[in-house]
Amino acid sequence: MAANLKEVRERIHSVKNTQQITKAMKVVSAAKLRKAQQAIVQMRPYANKQNEMLRNILSNLDGDASSAFGVERKVEKACIVVVTSNRGLCGAFNSNVIKAAVAKVEGEYADVRAAGNLSLLFIGKKGYEYFKKRYADCNLIADHVALFNDLSFERVTEISQKLMDQFLSGEYDAVDVSYGRFKNAAMQFPECETWLPVQKVEVAEGEKQMKADYIFEPSQEALLEELVPSILQTTFFKFNLDTHASEHGARMTAMDKASENADELLRDLRISYNKARQEAITRELSEIVGGAAALESA
């Protein structure tokens, strides 16, 4: 019984230590989330409006004006950018982003992969750790896994510009991005979006396509040359900000739930400890009473 009491005490001590860690991680994630959430909330309306404008412009160009970034080609070579976190302990966030990428790899790009023309570029270590063990037949690019250690527009632009150059040169016919779209601390949604080529505005059957009412100054060609790459870089940066905020939101929620579970476990362990202690006291009293009765009868 004494051994059982000691074991329960040790478990209580261990759970308390673990709870202190989860509470500390929750506080740290909450502080980082505020900054990351502010960044994506400020960026998203601007990036979404730019992307909407870009799609409208490329869908309604006049004359011979065009942009190479909006040209759809038969996809024989493709790249998927997998944006995950560097660290775990954030619930199912990373696995959900990875599942979205896997669905694209094994679905739409199954033939491209079979031909050996599928590349996977990783931002964040968790995605790379998963794919390197299971998708050795793909071209795995791990040059930017540590991007979130120093996330900035300049560093992200280096990656997006290289991908844009590779798309223009024909090295890739399509570039998709798998990331976590941030809604709030408790809700993040895995997405796998086509970044290149730029998707045209879809018009429902039976509806007339509305002409975008834009006045171009200078010419369409000159404006497209500067505008399209800038908007694409902003959109790519938004993917990373979304994932960064989603990571901290998911970790804060996971650590909060872990702390609650620790409270429940501590309550059960204390009940078990008190029961064992009462049983030990009752046993000792019974032994004392029995010994006294034996002495009296003697």
- CATH, residue 85: 3.40.1380.10
Which range of residues forms the domain containing residue 109?
23-200+219-254
Q: Is the CB of residue 175 less than 8 Å from the CB of residue 195?
A: yes
H-run or E-run covering 272: helix 220-297
- Asked whether residue 214 is domain-assigned, the answer is no
Residues facing 196 on adjacent strands:
175
Of 57, 21, 38, 12, nearest in space to 224 by CA? 57
Measured CA to CA, the distance from residue 29 to residue 131 in angstroms comes to 26
- Asked whether residue 74 is domain-assigned, the answer is yes
How much of the chain, in percent, has pLDDT values that exceed 90?
64
For range 29-40, the mean pLDDT: 93
Question: Residue 213, SS3?
Answer: coil
- Asked whether residue 70 is domain-assigned, the answer is yes
- pLDDT per residue as tens digits for the range 226-268: 888 999 999 999 999 999 999 999 999 999 999 999 999 999 9
- Asked whether residue 100 is domain-assigned, the answer is yes
Domain total of the chain = 1
Tell me which residue has tokens 């970044």: 195
Q: Is the CB of residue 252 less than 8 Å from the CB of residue 29?
A: yes
Q: Is the CB of residue 221 less than 8 Å from the CB of residue 67?
A: no
For range 115-121, the mean pLDDT: 96
Is the predicted pLDDT of residue 208 greater than 70, yes or no? Answer: no
For range 268-292, the mean pLDDT: 84
* Least confident range of 165-174, 200-209, 233-242: 200-209
Task: Enter the tokens of residue 187.
Answer: 């809700």
Q: What count of residues does the chain have?
A: 298
φ/ψ (deg, to 5) at 139: -85, 105
* Greater pLDDT, 219 or 245: 245
- Asked whether residue 268 is domain-assigned, the answer is no
Q: Is the CB of residue 189 less than 8 Å from the CB of residue 95?
A: no
Give the side-chain half-sphere CA count within 13 A for 29. 25
Q: Is the CB of residue 284 less than 8 Å from the CB of residue 277?
A: no
Q: How far is CA 103 from CA 107, 113, 118, 290, in A?
A: 6, 13, 14, 72
- pLDDT per residue as tens digits for the range 71-91: 889 999 999 999 999 998 999
- Asked whether residue 131 is domain-assigned, the answer is yes
The whole model's pTM is what? 0.85
- Asked whether residue 271 is domain-assigned, the answer is no
Q: How far is CA 174 from the centre of its chain?
A: 22
Measured CA to CA, the distance from residue 289 to residue 11 in angstroms comes to 33
- Asked whether residue 60 is domain-assigned, the answer is yes
